[in-house]
Structure 1
Amino acid sequence: MHTMWKGTISFGLVNIPIKLHAATENKDIKLRQLHEECKSPIEYKKRCPVCDKEVANEEIVKAYEYTKNKFVVLDAEDLENLKKEQEDKSVEILDFVKLEEIDPIYFERSYFMSPNDGGTKAYGLLRQALSDTGKIGIAKIIIRSKEQLAIVRVYQNTLVMETIHFPDEVRNVADVPNVPEQTELSKKEVSTAITLIDQLTAEFEPEKYTDDYRTALMELIEAKRNNEEVTTSKPKSPQENVSNLMEALEQSLESTKESKKISPKRKTAAKKSTRKKKTS
């Protein structure tokens, strides 16, 4: 399993060297966009609309737009130093809380935690303590240049770190449009709804829920492939850069002219050779 972060997590005076591994994976079927006429993949190029030219990665800088078309440019060195300053800090568990106190709306992404060299006993200690108390740890961590709020909890026999949103990242429910304050409902309507919920209540078995759309899409793709309903994109024709082509032509003409000219040394050598022949 690929390691995507290494570091140390601590609670109190206990330090645990750990590794993080992505606990989930995106299994969406990625579809490419083709030009309908020739079935070639569509390209997306970085282009400056003012200079009207394609821009290379080394010509791009990062900036913060604080108001419309007003930017604060951030140097790559500044960002790297800030990132390094934060990443060098070990991850400290700030508080312990109960899992049910956190609404699921806060949860973002899960990572399996494994002990790094020398961390096996401390890892087992934290796992056992969390399991016995029924608590989870709250911590902060820098992942991919972004500070994340996270929780540490036990999942089966493994410690899991789950990044969660900061409070200001969760939008205010008061801004949701058309939500009724109260609705007049009869007792019969409520009791019927509760009966229906009771009838559909079951133990959560994640294995029984499948992505039917993804399965159907793959079946459609395989059926078309087996029936040879496939297309091959045409080879990309080399684009001629007019500017470079003209330069090459002009240089070729210039070098041809130069080669036809006889240098002074060659002229002198040629004259001496002619004189010797006449003398002899």
Structure 2
Amino acid sequence: MHTMWKGSISFGLVHIPIKLFAATEEKDIKMRYLHKECHTPIKYEKVCPACEKEIETNDIVKGYEYEPGRFVIIEKEELEEISQEKNKSIEIIDFVKLDEIDPVYFNRSYFIGPSEHGEKAYMLLKQAMDDSGKIGVAKITLRAKEHLAVVRVYNKGLVMETIYYPDEVRKIDHVPGLPTEMNVNEKELKMAIQLIEQLTTSFDPSKYTDQYRASLMELIQGKITGNEVTIAKEVPQTDILQLMEALQASIEQTKPVKARAVRKKKVTS
């Protein structure tokens, strides 16, 4: 498993060297956009609509649009100055109960593994959290962004999950058409509870599969087996040594017909 981050977990004066590993992965089937006529992959270019020309990455700066069409430019050096990226620590601020955090706050999961010489302290933290039934609320900087996160026990080790800040979670009151208080039929309520009880079971994640992804993969494999494949046209590449010849040929093709005829007559006479 690839190490994506190295640092430490700190709480109080305790520092535990650790590594982070991505705990999840997307299983979406990725497809390319092709030209309908020749099935060649579409190329996306960075173009300035005002200058009407393609631009390089070095010509791009970041700006914040504070009003429509009005920006303040933020330089790379200014971003680096306020960045907390140099702080390689998962700083645990508080310990709370897991059921106090609504699942709507959870974002991405990362496995935490001990670094060299950190095994004993790692297991000590895991055991202490397990026995207390508490999880740690922490802050960490990943990819130049400060994240709120929780550290908790997961099976044999620890897992860190980034969570949204309160102002990143929208208010449910903003959902249109939410019903207000209304009287619920007692008989219907009992039937609904009975149905829930009948469908209640222990959570087994292995029983749930992405049926759409499985059907799409079956469709793709069927087309490959049936030889229903298309081969993209090879995009012609101009060799550097042939560049001058290609330019000269292009010039000849774009010359007026009369000029080419006069030149041809001189050559034959």
For 1:104 and 1:189, locate their aligned partners in 2 and report how far apart those are by CA, in whole Å.
29
Aligned residues: 244
Q: Which residue of 2 aligns with 1:194?
A: 193
Helix, strand or coil at the partner of 1:224? helix
**How is 1:162-173 mapped onto 2 (pairs within 5 angstroms)?**
162-173=161-172
Match of 1:20 in 2: 20
Query: What is the deviation of 1:86?
Result: 4.3
Q: Which residue of 2 aligns with 1:140?
A: 139
- Greater Rg by CA: 1
Question: Partners in 2 of 1:234 and 1:173 — Cα distance?
Answer: 51
Tell me the amino acid that sits aligned with residue 10 of structure 2.
Answer: S
1:203-214 aligned at under 5 Å gives the runs: 203-214=202-213
Aligned equivalents of 1:93, 1:37: Cα separation in 2:
56
Counterpart of 2:52 in structure 1 is: 52
Q: CA separation in 2, counterparts of 1:38 and 1:54?
A: 24
Secondary structure of 2:121 counterpart: helix
The amino acid of 1:194's aligned partner reads: I
| 1:122 to 1:238, Cα distance in 2 relative to 1, 3 A | same
Note the alpha carbon deviations across 1:229-275, whole angstroms, 9 max, x for none: 00011011358xxxx98xx65xx9xxxxxxxxxxxxxxxxxxxxxxx
Return the alpha-carbon distance in structure 1 between the equivalents of residues 225 and 49 of structure 2. 44
What's the CA shift for 1:191? Answer: 0.7
Distance of aligned partners of 1:237 and 1:167 in 2 relative to their CA distance in 1, 3 Å threshold:
same
SS in 1 for 2:192: helix
Unaligned runs of 5+ in 1: 253-280
Post-superposition offset of 1:89: 5.4
Q: How big is the shift at 1:82?
A: 2.7
**Equivalent runs, 1:122-133 vs 2, <5 Å:** 122-133=121-132
Aligned residue type for 2:182? T
Deviation at 1:138, TM superposition (A): 0.4
The answer to which of 180-189 and 100-109 deviates more is 180-189
Partner AA of 1:79 in structure 2: L
Aligned to 1:258: none
- Asked if the contact 2:17–2:114 (Cα under 8 Å) also holds between the matched residues in 1, the reply is yes
Determine helix, strand or coil for the equivalent of 1:21: strand
Runs of 4+ in structure 1 deviating by more than 4 angstroms, as ranges, are none
Match runs of 1:1-280 below 5 Å: 1-83=1-83, 85-88=84-87, 90-238=89-237
| Structure 1 partner of 2:255 | none
Unpaired runs of 5+ residues, structure 2, are: 252-269
Deviation at 1:145, TM superposition (A): 1.2
TM-score (norm 2): 0.86
Contact preservation (8 Å) 2:6, 2:88: no
Cα distance in 2 for residues equivalent to 1:135 and 1:230: 55
Structure-2 separation of matches of 1:79 and 1:139: 23
CA contact (8 A) 2:87 2:141 kept: no
CA distance in structure 2 between the aligned counterparts of 1:179 and 1:209, rounded to whole angstroms: 30
